[in-house]
Chain A
C-alpha cells in the first residue's frame, strides 16, 4: 500500500494532506485512508491544489527562454522545494476492527498521519454499501462532480461496473427524488 501524503489539517468531516510528490495528488473522487489509532478513516478526494509554500509569495512565469516545460524545473531545481501539492478528502466512513462503517468516525485523524491510496480490493469492499452517497450528496461546492467522479472511480474496481453504476444510480434517484435536475446531471456523468 503506497503512502501518498501526510495530514496537515483535520476535522471529523474532512482532512487536508500534503503530497510527498509535487503535482501528484490522488485522483479527484478516489478513495484514500488514514489511521487514527485503531480506526482507519476513509475519505473521498474532493479537492487538490498546488501552491507556493509561502502564501505571500506567488510563483512567477519562468519559461520564456526554455524549449520544454520540464526545462523550467531543470534550470531552477529549487522550485520543487518552494511549491507544494495539497489535497482534501471528505470523510465518508471508517473501519474499526474488521467492520466498515459508512458514516463519520468518532474522532478526526491526527495531524501527520500518513495518507494511503486504497487499492481496488479495498474500494470494492467499501463500495458494497451506498450509504456514503448521502454524505457526498450533502457536500458543499461541486457535490455533483464529486459524486460522479467517486462512482466512476469505484466502478473500475467492480467485477461488473455497469451493474454497479445502475444500482448506484438507483440509490441516487431515491436520494435526489426531489431534485431531478441534479440526478440528471450526475447520471449523464456516470453513464457508460
Chain B
C-alpha cells in the first residue's frame, strides 16, 4: 500500500490500474484497483498488461466488482457527501476489483521477441502491476496490417487494425452469430470481402435475402454495395429469380434452374421439417425413385392426377394410401418454385464449378424465393454435388500429386435449418462442418439461434464471430469448448447492439472485442479496393502506356 502511495505522490502511475491480488490460471486473476482508478473508467472487454516478474501478460477484463475492506461499511457508510472523506475512502476502505483473464505472454527477451506472443501457461505473481494495454502491445499480438491486407475492425478504444489470419480462417468452418439486427449480415459481408480481397479461397454464397451479391441495405435503409460492385471481375452473381434480379437492376451472370430430374430423394428428406413430412412419407420418396427411375420420379409423381392414380401407385409400392396422398399434397409446394423445371436448360452445378475453378466467387441470390423451403432445397442440392466434385478432385490430387483445388468457402444463412441436431448427421453441411478441411471445403454459417445448431458442429468451428446474444442457451452454445467460457460470457452479453463483435478461435491470437470497420461510405469502399470506372480507365491507360512506352 505504501508503495502505491509513494507512486501517487510522485505521480508516476498515469496508466497504472492496480495490483494482482489473487487468481488462478483456469479462472483468471483478481486485480485490486488503485484508489486513483475509478471503476467507472473500466470497461469489460478491454485489454490490460500485467507486469509479471519474468514477463508481461496480456489479458482481457472480463468482470468488474465493488468491494470493501470491512462489511460494516456497507451498513454504516462513511460520510461520502464530504469530498475529503469520499476521496480518502475511495480505493482504500472501498475499492474496485476487476477480473482479468490472461490470454498471452509477451516475453521481453530476444527469443520471445522472435517467437511472438505465447499462450499463457501460468499466472503473474502476487501484486504484479496491472496497466492499461498500450496500442503497441496489442499491435504486437494482432500484427501490423499492410496496405493491401484485410482487417475487420478495431479493438475497443484503440486505433489498431485487427486482422483475421485469412489462411487459418478458411481452413476450418466458421460461424457468425448474433441476434437479429446486430449486424450479422454486415459482418458476414465484410468477411466475404476479406476472403475475396486476400484471395485465399473461392466463395460460394447462398444469399437468401439477396444481400451480398449486388447490393444490400444497411440497418438505416441505405443501400450498400455488394461483392459484385466492389470486385466486378472476381465475383459472379447467379440468380434463382431472374425477374427480381432484373427489377433490382442486378447484372446477373447466370440464371439457375433446377430440373425435377436433378432432385433426389435425399433432397426431399432434408425438407422433412420445412414441408412437415412424416418419417414414412420421407421414406416413400426412395421407393418412388426406384419405381419411376432416379431421374423421373418427381416429375412423374407430380404429374399423377386424381385419387385413383395415387391409390394405384400406393398399391404398387406397398405403401399406405394416406402416406402417398400426404406426400403428394406436401410436394405440391414445390410447384410454386418457378426455378424448378422438368429439365434444366443448363447445368447450374457445372457452371458454378467452372466459375469457382477460375477463382471467381459465386453468389447465388434467391430473389423472391426467400422462404426456407427453397433455400434448404437449393443449398442442399447444389452443395451436395459440388462437395462430391471437390472430394473427387482432392482425392485425385492426392493420388496423382497434382495441385489441390482452391479452398472453397460455402456461406449459408439460417444455419440451424441445416445443422440442427436432428439432421446434422445426415446433411451435407453437417459432413462439411465435421470433416473440416480434408476436402478443401469449409463453411461460414450465419445464424441468430446458435443453440439450434448441433453441438458437435459448433465445437468443430474454427473461428466464431459473434455479435450481441442475450439468450442464455445461445451464449452457452457459442462458447462451447472455449477456455475461459464463463469470463467470455460476461463480455459477450455486454456487447453493444451495433458494430461490436467478439471474435475468438483459430484466426485470432486471442479473443478480441472489435468495433467492426465502417462499411457503406465512399471512403470505406475505396479502402477495400473499390475503383470508380473512371479510375479503372485511367489505370488501364497507364498500363498500356507502360507496356508500349
Chain A residues packing against B (C-beta within 8 Å) = 129-131, 162, 165-167, 169-174, 177-178, 180-181, 183-184, 187-188, 191-192
- Contact residues, B60-86 vs A (CB, 8 A): 69-70, 72-73, 76, 78-79, 82, 84-85
- Interchain CB contact (< 8 A) of B69 among A166, A171, A174: A174
CA A171 to CA B89, docked complex, whole Å: 10
Inter-chain contact A170/B91, CB cutoff 8 Å: yes
A169: chain B residues within 8 A (beta carbon): 84-85, 87-88, 92
Report the interface size for chain B: residues with CB under 8 A from the other chain.
22
Given A174-B92, A177-B70, A191-B85, A167:B9 Cβ within 8 A: yes
Given A130-B2, A178-B70, A167:B93 Cβ within 8 A: no
- Interchain CB contact (< 8 A) of A173 among B72, B76, B88: B88
Inter-chain contact A191/B82, CB cutoff 8 Å: yes
Inter-chain contact B85/A180, CB cutoff 8 Å: no
Given A174-B1, A180-B76, A166:B88 Cβ within 8 A: yes
Inter-chain contact A180/B84, CB cutoff 8 Å: no
CA A191 to CA B84, docked complex, whole Å: 6
Chain B residue nearest in CB terms to A187 = B85
Inter-chain contact A183/B79, CB cutoff 8 Å: no
Give chain B nearest CB distance to A5 CB in angstroms.
33
0/1 interface trace, chain B 89-109, chain A, CB 8 Å (1 if under):
101110000000000000000
CA A165 to CA B5, docked complex, whole Å: 12
Closest 8 CB pairs of A and B: A169-B88, A173-B92, A177-B69, A191-B84, A173-B93, A170-B92, A187-B85, A166-B87
Chain A residue nearest in CB terms to B69 = A177
CA A170 to CA B3, docked complex, whole Å: 13
Q: Does B8 lie at the interface of the complex (its beta carbon under 8 Å from any beta carbon of A)?
A: yes
- Given A166-B84, A183-B78, A188-B85, list of 8 further CB < 8 A pairs? A130-B5, A162-B84, A166-B87, A169-B92, A172-B88, A181-B76, A187-B79, A187-B88
Among A174, A178, A181, A183, chain B packs the most CB atoms within 10 A around the CB of A183
Inter-chain contact B79/A188, CB cutoff 8 Å: yes
CA A192 to CA B84, docked complex, whole Å: 7
Inter-chain contact A171/B1, CB cutoff 8 Å: yes
Give chain A nearest CB distance to B79 CB in angstroms.
7
CA A15 to CA B292, docked complex, whole Å: 116
A183: chain B residues within 8 A (beta carbon): 78, 93
Q: Does B185 lie at the interface of the complex (its beta carbon under 8 Å from any beta carbon of A)?
A: no
Give chain B nearest CB distance to A165 CB in angstroms.
7
Inter-chain contact B84/A187, CB cutoff 8 Å: yes
Q: List 30 A-B contacts (CB under 8 A).
A: A129-B2, A130-B2, A166-B84, A167-B5, A167-B9, A169-B92, A170-B1, A170-B5, A170-B35, A171-B1, A171-B2, A173-B92, A173-B93, A174-B92, A177-B69, A177-B70, A178-B69, A180-B70, A180-B73, A180-B78, A180-B93, A181-B72, A183-B93, A184-B78, A187-B85, A187-B88, A188-B85, A191-B82, A191-B85, A192-B84
CA A167 to CA B88, docked complex, whole Å: 7
B91: chain A residues within 8 A (beta carbon): 170
CA A129 to CA B5, docked complex, whole Å: 10
CA A174 to CA B5, docked complex, whole Å: 12
- Interchain CB contact (< 8 A) of B88 among A129, A130, A170, A181: A170
CA A110 to CA B84, docked complex, whole Å: 42
CA A162 to CA B276, docked complex, whole Å: 77
- Contact residues, B12-55 vs A (CB, 8 A): 35
A165: chain B residues within 8 A (beta carbon): 84
CA A165 to CA B85, docked complex, whole Å: 10
Give chain B nearest CB distance to A180 CB in angstroms.
5
B79: chain A residues within 8 A (beta carbon): 184, 187-188
B93: chain A residues within 8 A (beta carbon): 173, 177, 180, 183
CA A181 to CA B91, docked complex, whole Å: 18
Give chain A nearest CB distance to B492 CB in angstroms.
36
Among A130, A178, A191, chain B packs the most CB atoms within 10 A around the CB of A191
Give chain A nearest CB distance to B162 CB in angstroms.
39
B9: chain A residues within 8 A (beta carbon): 167
CA A5 to CA B517, docked complex, whole Å: 77
Give chain B nearest CB distance to A133 CB in angstroms.
11
B78: chain A residues within 8 A (beta carbon): 180, 183-184, 187
0/1 interface trace, chain B 187-212, chain A, CB 8 Å (1 if under):
00000000000000000000000000
A173: chain B residues within 8 A (beta carbon): 69, 88-89, 92-93
CA A190 to CA B424, docked complex, whole Å: 71
CA A33 to CA B8, docked complex, whole Å: 29
CA A173 to CA B69, docked complex, whole Å: 9
CA A184 to CA B73, docked complex, whole Å: 10
CA A167 to CA B3, docked complex, whole Å: 12
CA A191 to CA B87, docked complex, whole Å: 11
Give chain A nearest CB distance to B326 CB in angstroms.
76
A129: chain B residues within 8 A (beta carbon): 2
CA A169 to CA B92, docked complex, whole Å: 9
CA A141 to CA B85, docked complex, whole Å: 24
Chain B residue nearest in CB terms to A192 = B84
